[in-house]
Amino acid sequence: MTTSFEDFATGQVTPLLRYATVLTGDPHLAQDVVQECLLRAQQRWTRITQVDMPAAYLKRMVTNEYLSWRRRWKPHTPLHDVDPPSPDPSGLYDEREAMLQRIDKLPRKQKACVVLRYYEGYDDLEIAETLNCSQVTVRSHISRALATLRANDRVKEAL
């Protein structure tokens, strides 16, 4: 029994938006990316229902849309650069926001690897399949990204 596209999209839109928001660093861009992917998925729904995991297929569509968007357009100016958010009174949220901002500055493939590993819980093989690269490349991207994030922490502590 196949699920209708509307039922599937209703169940998947929130996780896809969360994933895309972390990936893009901009909730408005994330909405655009997810909307574009859902529109394309609706047109190909009969084919998509034949794959083993339609939700994973859509997540890969979101990842590919993000990566191709970054290649097509100049880097966007996140809204927090235009109108900085007021500080959150909770230290936990401040730390999370600071980390997301540091992750947002990583090169796009490193960022995609970090988000897939630590936000989505993918292993090297799943990330390699999603990004269409080797597991060695995935490990290299993650290693470089973590080194950059650690270096940023040391610079922040020195200030």
Query: The CATH number of the domain where 110 resides is what?
Result: 1.10.10.10
Which amino acid is residue 8, in one-letter code? F
Residue 82 has pLDDT above 60, yes or no: no
Task: For the chain, give the percent of residues with pLDDT over 90.
Answer: 54
What residue has token string 């980390």?
99
CA atoms within 13 A on the CB side of 84: 5
Using the 3D structure, point to which of 33, 64, 83 is the last residue of a domain.
Answer: 83
Using the 3D structure, point to which of 19, 51, 83 is the last residue of a domain.
Answer: 83
Structure token pair of residue 36: 């574009």
Output the average pLDDT for the chain. Answer: 84
CB 153 within 8 A of CB 60: no
pTM of the complete model: 0.59
Structurally, how many domains does the chain consist of?
2
pLDDT tens by residue, 15-57: 999 999 999 888 998 999 999 999 999 999 999 889 889 999 9
Q: Indicate which CATH number applies to the domain containing 51.
A: 1.10.1740
74 & 134 share domain: no
Q: What is the pLDDT of residue 159?
A: 47
**139: domain range?**
90-159
pLDDT tens by residue, 96-152: 788 888 899 999 999 999 999 998 999 999 999 999 999 999 999 999 999 998 887
DSSP states of 67-120 as a string?
A: HHHHHHSPPP--HHHHSPPPPPS-HHHHHHHHHHHHHHTS-HHHHHHHIIIIIT
53 & 94 share domain: no
CB 19 within 8 A of CB 62: yes
Using the 3D structure, point to which of 68, 83, 98 is the last residue of a domain.
Answer: 83
66 & 115 share domain: no
72 & 118 share domain: no
Phi and psi (nearest 5°) for 87? -60, 140
58 & 96 share domain: no
Q: What is the pLDDT of residue 86?
A: 62
150 & 104 share domain: yes
CB 23 within 8 A of CB 76: no
49 & 122 share domain: no
